[in-house]
Amino acid sequence: MARQAKAEKVGKTKSVRDAEATQAVILAAAEEEFAQHGFIAARTEAIAAKTGVAKSMIYYYFKDKEGLYKSVLERSHSDLWQTIQQLDLDHFSPEVALEKFLIALLDCVSRNPKLPTIMFHEAVQNQGKYYKHSSSLSIDTTLVKILERGIAEGVFRQLDPFQSAINIMGTCLFYFIGTGNIQQLPQGKRLLSKVMLEQHAQEAIALILTGVRK
């Protein structure tokens, strides 16, 4: 009996791991599909073809295309949101908190350059319908609060926290959204190479910190 129970437990554990691995493969392919086509034009058939996972299995795990899209959005932002929470930014000065926030943001999108493009499609196609239910809003709110605290403490100049947060995100993320256009410039640069991503992060952070200081 003990051996049978152990075997059943091992079997269940393996089944769970297999399911998690399959879902991860589906989400990775879905992320690429949504980044290229947005929610409206993305096709679950294309995701199934890329992964070798039956379309019925995709629906088994995520219910429908909308469920899959929501999972992609949440997965895309969960890493950044968890990092920001662990940083405990309220315990740092506003300037240090802002710099740490920017480093975390740029590190996240450098590892996942499809994320800004997915957000672009979300804004254009869906008018933020799904965005408002994701952890993205918590990330945005955190940035606004850092700016508000910096103004209150006299560290940052008198600026509009909401407008400034929008401009800061634009400075960080347009690089990734506009890669297709930017790479057409006769510079011969690989925009998503490690060297160029590091340079973008340094330039963006320096520009933003200089812009908000009093």
Q: What distance in Å separates the CA atoms of residue 189 and residue 183, rounded to the nearest whole number?
A: 7
Of 77, 89, 88, the residue nearest 147 (C-alpha): 89
Range of lowest pLDDT (45-59, 86-100, 184-198): 184-198
Indicate the residue type of 97: A
Residue numbers of the domain that contains 196: 2-212
- Residue 21, both tokens: 């691995």
CA distances from 205 to 100, 101, 112, 172, 196 (A): 10, 10, 19, 8, 14
- The C-alpha atoms of residue 40 and residue 42 are separated, in whole angstroms, by 6
pLDDT level of residue 14 (50, 70, 90 thresholds): low
Segment 79-127, tens digit of pLDDT: 889 999 999 999 999 999 999 999 999 999 999 999 999 999 999 999 9
78 pLDDT band, cuts 50/70/90, is confident
Decide: 31 and 114 in contact? Cβ < 8 Å: yes
At residue 10, the pLDDT reads 43
By mean pLDDT, which of 18-22, 54-58, 151-155 is the weakest?
A: 18-22
pLDDT at 15: 55
Query: Which residue in 129, 128, 111, 137 sits closest to 31, CA to CA?
Result: 111
Single-letter residue type at 160: D
* pLDDT score of 8 more than 80: no
What is the overall mean pLDDT for the chain?
90
b/e map 162-182, b = 16+ CB within 10 Å: eebbeebbebbbebbbeeeee
Number of structural domains in the chain: 1
| Whole-prediction pTM | 0.85
Check which CATH number belongs to the domain holding 137 and give it. 1.10.357.10
DSSP classification of residue 134: S
Q: For 11-30, what is the mean pLDDT?
A: 80
Do 62 and 84 touch, CB atoms closer than 8 A?
no
